[in-house]
Amino acid sequence: MEGLKNTLEYLLTPSAPIFIVGALIVLLVPILVHFFVVRTTPYTTLPTILLVGPSGAGKTSLLTLVERGDKTVPTHTSQTPQPVELTVSAGGAVQSFRETAKEDAPGMHKKFLLMDTPGHGKLRKFAMDRVNTQDSLKGIMFVLDAAALDENLPATGSYLYDVLLALQKRMGAGKTSRGPSSIHVLIAANKSDLFTALPVSLVKSNLEAELGRIRKSKSKGLLDSGVGADDVGNEESDNWLGTYGAEKFSFSQMREFDLEVDIVGGSVLEGKVDKWWKWISARV
Amino acid sequence: MLDTFEILTTSGVVLWSRSFSHVNPAIINNFIADVFIEEKAAAAGVKDTKSAANNPAYKADQHTLRWSFSKELGVIFVAVYRSLLHLSWVDKLVDNLKTIFVDLYGEQLQKPNTTVVRCEKFDDYFDQQLRELESKATTKAAQPGGTAFIDEESISGNLGDEPPLPPGLKHRNKVHDGAQDRPSTAESTPVATPNQSRPSTPGGNHLVVGKTGPMGKVSRRARKMQINSSATASSGDEGPGRKGKKAPKKGRKWDADGFADEDDGVQLDYSVTGKSATSDSEAEATGRSTVVEEIDSATWGSKTSKGQFVLRDLDDEVHGILSSAQSKNSDNAPTGIVNTGLSSINSLFRNIVGGKTLTKEDLAKPMDGMEKHLIEKNVAREAAVRLREGVEKELLGVKTGSFESIDTRIKKAMEASLTKMLTPTSSLDLLREIDAVTRPSTLSGRKPRPFVMSIVGVNGVGKSTNLSKICFFLLQNKYKVLIAAGDTFRSGAVEQLKVHVRNLKELTEREGGQVDIFEKGYGGDAASVAKDAVKEAANEGYDVVLIDTAGRRHNDQRLMSSLEKFAKFAQPDKILMVGEALVGSDSVAQARNFNSSFGPGRNLDGFIISKCDTVGDMVGTLVSIVHATNVPVLFVGVGQHYSDIRNFSVRWAVEKLLST
Ligand SMILES: Nc1nc2c(ncn2[C@@H]2O[C@H](COP(=O)(O)OP(=O)(O)OP(=O)(O)O)[C@@H](O)[C@H]2O)c(=O)[nH]1
Ligand SMILES: [Mg+2]
């Protein structure tokens, strides 16, 4: 008790050591807090290419291929997103992704993140959140299985529709306020090694027809719960993918919204991904 | 014999695998989808890190999958084998390999932004474990004197849909889970008497008691299979040296401690140590008690190497890893009260600034609050508890982000959980699906036919009303609709439907809608009426048949059982159930019973939740129903008019549920 009193008295009496200690505390605490926060905050400023697409299309396979450079590893249904840090070298003559992805490739090196996302219907939020809001997003690769497009057309189409509509809305919002300059979309028609695989031209026409159908049935569909009957008017044109009122949908309509959509075929299994890699290099 | 063993991440990359025969990758994909993503029934609560024995086996297409999951690292360990072979040691294999893998490669697995894990060496560890566990199983079966009979029983006693755990596993689990949730069952192992006299093994009574403990009555067939399985196992070409020189060595070991019947290297060594000093039966006793007392793991390792049996280095290493993991698990309960003052200040600080590692205590109170909040929103207790547990397990050991309080983190996790639960696996675009059936593309080779949809539910929830709403929507889109009056039971039902049809006709005449009613009066068989309606629709070129059904109480056996016949006769493309959003209705039991009433292989396709406009934010019923059935909500009714039906928006529901 007595000791405590003494200490208190000492602390409250102005003296040099007390001032110094006090000043140190005042100065150091914010600095420490700053370091603490900085250390615990992960850096996420690398440009990001997002891999989206229905389950089983080959997103994770592609990810493992470009990370390892020479081979894929077996994969199963993904449940969580998975970023992988990669390097591209621009400038030097680009031959194949294997060379440009190397650490010692000639030309300028650029790091970026390739982000895999799960394609399962219940887990698309991971991808859609990033499509909607991620700032460092430089491009979106929509991977699909060209060999099973016949059966999967409705499912693939509706996912692609969601992605494109989300992007369109995002770009639309960007006109008024600060938004992304432009986001390119690459539709990667995978599994061209299989004999059932549709050629790129057919993939394109099938998808366009499907998106047109979806857009039509959506426009006639029921409203979502939570959307009041009053704000129907302006919703209509906002929720229309591509040129409003156009009879047929085509990917070129997305240019209106600064969205460039390309379709390129390839095969992860055979390592035929150079064109995709080139597209990525151009984005980051 | 094992078919395949895989180690894969939650991001879908297979880190390591060994395959003995080809297994369709779809099996593991389905396993992931059912158990981890859709969290179907029994598998709820997977987010926890548990021993393989506690995880229900997943059965598919003649295969059985045993698995374990490391939550921190996001790695799944799964073994696949033919269901015919009842391999009792697989649990152990999965558990041990998990422990070893996590120990060896845990650090690599934590590296961000890469999927590469260098684990080629794991081959050796796998071989070692496979050899060890498998030879134990076969030695047991081949042991002279121990009649194959008993051994088989003891092995196959561990099988079945709800496998009683072999004693060895119980032991381990007990140590594993330590003070946590699982009550130990080791002590309560029932003593099975009939097999106690085992001819050529004096003093082996202990063994038989322990071993046959959890076994149930096993059918002749099961025994036979076991014989087959052990035969296959011994003829398979697993790890090198399993037969040659190794076998006698093992055999000797087993002569010594075979009685221990612990499928565990650790036990094995205890007994070996014990053996040098004491008689067999005492060895058994020491073996057992030592485990319970958790001896220092370091000492037994060296003892073993000095002991009679020269084990390979790898064996030593493996046992070292396993036992140190075991003792770590039993140690980490209370760590002393020394630093609590400091750490509580630290935790307070981190709670504000973020970067706090969440513990059970941190979570308890805010989670109570969250659970209460959900229940106040009319979520059934059962569902609220499951959501709570899911989120709790997910957050345990997680670091909060900077300047993120526990509450915000929990809210975020709950939002994700709810979204995942409510989001249907495949989204429904009704018009698109109708078109696919009524106007199939020429490529598909299917013949056009009417799209059949039926609506079920208890009395008075608004079946006919909601059917009319959907009809109105279809008519606006110029479909030709036939409404079938399947309620041949309640007087007035047909007339009521006729009124609806008349109204709908009037409302949509100008827009070109076309709707008619198909009715056969009262007293007829509803299933036949439905069937006739579909036939008529096909002949007359209708696009859609909407079948109304009699309201029935979900616990009315007689009426419920007629639904199966109905589903078979009418072959509906979609069966939707109407449920009420109202507080206090026993919607969960209703949903469950209806969902299981259509016979094997047929479930509800979706729910229409009516009267959502009357409950404000209290939309918890939605969650309870989806939780109970895994069937998505597709539409919600929001008023009295024909146009008052909406697509169900997950975001809308989640916002309402979490709003305060
Ligand atoms: N024939 C062939 N098969 C491929 C090709 N690319 C991937 N696959 C196979 O397709 C299957 C699915 O690939 P994943 O990469 O796991 O699919 P995903 O898109 O990641 O699927 P989710 O994670 O469920 O969204 C794997 O079995 C691959 O081996 C290809 O180019 N050709
Ligand atoms: Mg994947």
Q: Do the chains contact at B647 and A78, CB–CB below 8 Å?
A: no
> Any idea what the Cα angle at residue A186 is, between residues A183 and A189, rounded to 5°?
165
Asked if A118 and A26 sit in the same domain, the reply is: no
When pLDDT is averaged across residues B130-159 and rounded to a whole number, the result is 54
- Whose Cα sits closest to atom 12 in ligand 1? A56
Asked if B464 and B608 sit in the same domain, the reply is: yes
Give the residue from B302, B330, B358 where a domain finishes.
Answer: B330
Q: Looking at the complex, report in whole angstroms how far the Cα of residue A28 sits from the nearest Cα belonging to chain B.
A: 16
B406 by Cβ neighbours in 10 Å (0-12 / 13-18 / 19+) ranks as: buried
Asked if B326 and B341 sit in the same domain, the reply is: no
Give the residue from B281, B309, B330 where a domain finishes.
Answer: B330
Asked if B408 and B372 sit in the same domain, the reply is: yes
Q: What percent of chain B has pLDDT above 90?
A: 13
Tell me, what CATH number does B61's domain have?
3.30.450.60
B659 assigned to some structural domain:
no
Asked if B91 and B12 sit in the same domain, the reply is: yes
When pLDDT is averaged across residues B124-136 and rounded to a whole number, the result is 84
Asked if A34 and A55 sit in the same domain, the reply is: no
Asked if B159 and B183 sit in the same domain, the reply is: yes
DSSP B202: T
The residue length of chain A stands at 284
Q: What is the pLDDT of residues B624-639, one digit of tens each?
A: 999 888 899 999 988 8
The residues of chain A scoring below 50 in pLDDT are 176-178, 229-233
B176 assigned to some structural domain:
yes
B657 assigned to some structural domain:
no
Tell me, what CATH number does A108's domain have?
3.40.50.300
A273 three-class SS? coil
Asked if B23 and B143 sit in the same domain, the reply is: no
Residue range of the domain that includes A35: 2-40
pLDDT above 60: residue B595: yes
Q: What does A3-40 look like in DSSP terms, one character per residue?
A: HHHHHHHHHHS--HHHHHHHHHHHHHHHHHHHHHHHHH
With cut-offs at 50, 70 and 90, classify the pLDDT of residue B239: very low
Residue in this structure with the two tokens 């003494």, named with its chain if needed: A6
Distance A147 CA to ligand 1 centre (A): 11
Distance B37 CA to ligand 2 centre (A): 13
> What is the enclosing helix (H) or strand (E) of B406?
helix B406-422
- Whose Cα sits closest to atom 7 in ligand 1? A58
B260 assigned to some structural domain:
yes
Q: Which residue of A has its CA nearest to B113?
A: A84
Q: Looking at the complex, report in whole angstroms how far the Cα of residue B293 sits from the nearest Cα belonging to chain A.
A: 40
Q: What is the pLDDT of residues A195-226, one digit of tens each?
A: 989 999 999 999 999 999 888 888 877 777 76
Asked if B500 and B562 sit in the same domain, the reply is: yes
Asked if A184 and A201 sit in the same domain, the reply is: yes
Q: Which residue of A has its CA nearest to B17?
A: A74
Asked if A61 and A24 sit in the same domain, the reply is: no
Asked if B239 and B280 sit in the same domain, the reply is: yes
pLDDT score recorded for residue B14: 93
Asked if A80 and A144 sit in the same domain, the reply is: yes
Q: What is the pLDDT of residues B15-37, one digit of tens each?
A: 999 999 888 889 999 999 988 88
Residues with CB under 5 A from ligand 2 (ion): A 59-60, 78; B 12
pLDDT score recorded for residue A147: 92
The total domain count for chain B is 4
Q: Do the chains contact at A74 and B25, CB–CB below 8 Å?
A: yes
Residue range of the domain that includes B506: 430-652
Order of strands, sheet of B514-518, starting from the edge strand that comes earlier in the sequence: B514-518, B480-486, B544-549, B451-456, B574-580, B606-610, B633-637, B645-647
With cut-offs at 50, 70 and 90, classify the pLDDT of residue B395: confident
pLDDT score recorded for residue B121: 84
Distance A62 CA to ligand 1 centre (A): 8
C-beta of residue B206 within 8 angstroms of C-beta of residue B193: no
Q: What is the pLDDT of residues B306-329, one digit of tens each?
A: 443 444 577 777 777 777 777 766
Q: Cβ–Cβ contacts within 10 Å for residue B369, how many?
A: 12
Asked if A131 and A15 sit in the same domain, the reply is: no
B362 assigned to some structural domain:
yes
Tell me, what CATH number does B577's domain have?
3.40.50.300
Question: Which residues have C-beta atoms less than 6 Å from ligand 1?
Answer: A 53, 55-61, 75, 77-78, 118-120, 143, 190-191, 193-194, 267-269; B 12, 25
CA atoms within 13 A on the CB side of B162: 2
Helices (H), chain A: 2-12, 16-40, 59-68, 97-100, 125-133, 149-176, 200-220, 233-238, 274-283
Asked if B272 and B149 sit in the same domain, the reply is: yes
Asked if B362 and B450 sit in the same domain, the reply is: no
Asked if A66 and A171 sit in the same domain, the reply is: yes
With residues binned 3-state (H G I as helix, E B as strand, rest as coil), the percentages for chain A, rounded to 5, are 50, 20, 35
Q: What is the pLDDT of residues B474-513, one digit of tens each?
A: 888 888 999 998 888 888 888 888 999 998 888 888 777 7
Distance B32 CA to ligand 2 centre (A): 12
Asked if A17 and A88 sit in the same domain, the reply is: no
Asked if B312 and B177 sit in the same domain, the reply is: yes
B268 assigned to some structural domain:
yes
- Whose Cα sits closest to atom 22 in ligand 1? A55
pLDDT score recorded for residue A258: 83
When pLDDT is averaged across residues B632-654 and rounded to a whole number, the result is 88
Backbone angles phi, psi at B63, to 5 degrees: -115, 150
Asked if B347 and B435 sit in the same domain, the reply is: no
Q: Do the chains contact at A225 and B652, CB–CB below 8 Å?
A: yes
Name the pairing type of β-strands B645-647 and B633-637: antiparallel
Name the pairing type of β-strands A108-116 and A48-52: parallel
The total domain count for chain A is 2
When pLDDT is averaged across residues B55-73 and rounded to a whole number, the result is 85
C-alpha closest to that of B230 among B146, B320, B289: B146
pLDDT score recorded for residue B124: 86
pLDDT score recorded for residue B77: 92
pLDDT above 50: residue B190: no
Give the residue from B119, B147, B170 where a domain finishes.
Answer: B119
Tell me, what CATH number does B359's domain have?
1.20.120.140
Asked if A192 and A247 sit in the same domain, the reply is: yes
Asked if A157 and A226 sit in the same domain, the reply is: yes
Q: Do the chains contact at B13 and A60, CB–CB below 8 Å?
A: yes
ipTM: 0.80
